[in-house]
């Protein structure tokens, strides 16, 4: 069995009481035995938030940005604010426990807690495991189809209760679209708003190149603020490229010079087939992006 590690948070938020008064911030426990109540609202209602981040040789990628998005998701769900110090110590302990695993992933989960708990304490844990091997996707590229998400591009402003733009535990739809992609012979999906704008992948941000400019559909579209996209923009600027945001349609996207889905686990996967049509891969830029992403020390 590959090495995994699990830390349970004693007090995921400083705004709610601890689970064990007087105990440390977290406890490292055996990941192979159950720890979650069947009444936890994560299990019964998918009510909670998460983050997933890559770790290379002990260095978590973009930890500050992931913790910022975790706090922003909590606020969008009216959950108590995560206690950053406690989460950072639990993350450090899980990474140390994973030892010399070259490529690992860690997941932070905070749920609304156990149904009926009079103290309404969130449940929180950090789980780490060796990442999958995405080398083929990074080099050879992936086939992607567009699918309708069913919401307008401005859903985050018109209907914030739909929680667009928050990283919630309710990812059944994000998994269902991958099964639909497989049925249509594709590897992944780009969601499109009901009024026809490109949004994001089910677990990734969309990136495209036009000339010397690297672009993404932008924020405020009910999509996640991608940490990988953010880091790639900083890197591209340091390489003399321009960066920008552009709201566009799938047919505009099909006409760009190169396309990627980017995310914390797989990093930059170039798109070689877009909605059934071959798309040129920028091998040089893809390799440079992945070398930068995998070499990040923060
Ligand atoms: N959009 C969605 C819906 C995601 O689930 C993810 C990551 O899982 C992303 C975008 C990309 O975010 P990041 O680069 O921080 O992994």
Q: Which CATH architecture group holds 5-130?
A: 2-Layer Sandwich (3.30)
The stretches in the chain having pLDDT less than 70 are: 1-2
What is the structure's pLDDT at 54?
A: 93
Probe ligand 1: pick from 226, 261, 290, 293, max atoms within 8 Å of CB? 226
What is the structure's pLDDT at 236?
A: 98
* CA distance linking residue 128 with residue 42, whole number of Å: 19
What is the structure's pLDDT at 2?
A: 62
Probe ligand 1: pick from 144, 204, 233, 234, max atoms within 8 Å of CB? 204
> CATH 3.30.470.10 region(s) of the chain?
5-130
Residue 123 beta carbon below 6 angstroms from any ligand 1 atom: no
| Atom 11 of ligand 1, residue of closest alpha carbon | 204
| Atom 2 of ligand 1, residue of closest alpha carbon | 203
Q: Which CATH architecture group holds 135-295?
A: Alpha-Beta Barrel (3.20)
Residue 227 beta carbon below 6 angstroms from any ligand 1 atom: yes
Residue 10 beta carbon below 6 angstroms from any ligand 1 atom: no
State which ligand 1 atom lies nearest to the alpha carbon of 53. Answer: 16
Parallel, antiparallel or unpaired: strands 242-245 and 188-192: unpaired
> CATH 3.20.10.10 region(s) of the chain?
135-295
* CA distance linking residue 99 with residue 87, whole number of Å: 19
What is the structure's pLDDT at 18?
A: 97
200 CA distance to ligand 1 middle (Å): 8
* CA distance linking residue 263 with residue 245, whole number of Å: 17
Contact 203, 263 (CB under 8 A): yes
* CA distance linking residue 82 with residue 74, whole number of Å: 7
| Atom 4 of ligand 1, residue of closest alpha carbon | 203
Tokens, residue 230: 């953010």
How far does Cα 203 stand from its chain's mean position? 6
What is the structure's pLDDT at 100?
A: 74
* CA distance linking residue 201 with residue 174, whole number of Å: 8
Is the pTM higher than 0.85? The answer reads: yes
Q: What's the helix, strand, coil split of the chain in %, to 5?
A: 30, 30, 45
Torsion of CA 285, 286, 290, 293, to 10 degrees: 60
Residue 216 beta carbon below 6 angstroms from any ligand 1 atom: no
Residue 267 beta carbon below 6 angstroms from any ligand 1 atom: no
Alpha-carbon distance values, 73 to 59, 81, 195 (Å): 24, 9, 25
């Amino acid at each position: 069995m590959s090495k995994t590690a699990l830390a349970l948070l004693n007090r995921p938020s400083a705004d709610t009481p601890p689970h064990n008064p007087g105990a440390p911030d977290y406890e490292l426990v055996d990941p192979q035995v159950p720890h979650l109540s069947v009444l936890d609202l994560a299990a019964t209602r998918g009510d909670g938030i998460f983050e997933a981040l890559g770790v290379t040789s002990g260095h978590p990628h973009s930890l500050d940005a992931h913790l910022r998005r975790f706090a922003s998701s909590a606020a969008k769900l009216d959950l108590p604010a995560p206690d950053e110090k406690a989460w950072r110590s639990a993350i450090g302990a899980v990474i140390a426990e994973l030892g010399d695993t070259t490529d690992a992933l860690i997941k932070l989960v905070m749920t609304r807690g156990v149904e009926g708990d009079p103290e309404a304490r969130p449940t929180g844990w950090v789980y780490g495991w060796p990442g999958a091997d995405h080398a083929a996707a990074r080099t050879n590229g992936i086939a992607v189809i567009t699918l309708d998400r069913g919401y307008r591009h401005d859903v985050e402003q018109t209907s914030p209760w739909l929680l667009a733009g928050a990283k919630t535990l309710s990812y059944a739809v994000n998994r269902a679209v991958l099964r639909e992609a497989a049925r249509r012979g594709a590897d992944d999906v780009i969601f499109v708003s009901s009024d026809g704008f490109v949004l994001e992948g089910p677990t990734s941000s969309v990136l495209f190149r036009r000339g010397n400019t690297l672009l993404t559909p932008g924020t405020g579209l009910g999509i996640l603020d991608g940490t990988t996209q953010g880091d790639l923009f900083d890197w591209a600027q340091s390489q003399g490229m321009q960066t920008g945001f552009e709201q566009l349609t799938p047919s505009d996207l099909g006409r760009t010079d190169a396309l990627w889905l980017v995310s914390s686990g797989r990093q930059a996967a170039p798109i070689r087939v877009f909605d059934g049509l071959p798309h040129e891969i920028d091998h040089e830029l893809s390799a440079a992006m992945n070398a930068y992403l995998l070499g990040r020390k923060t």
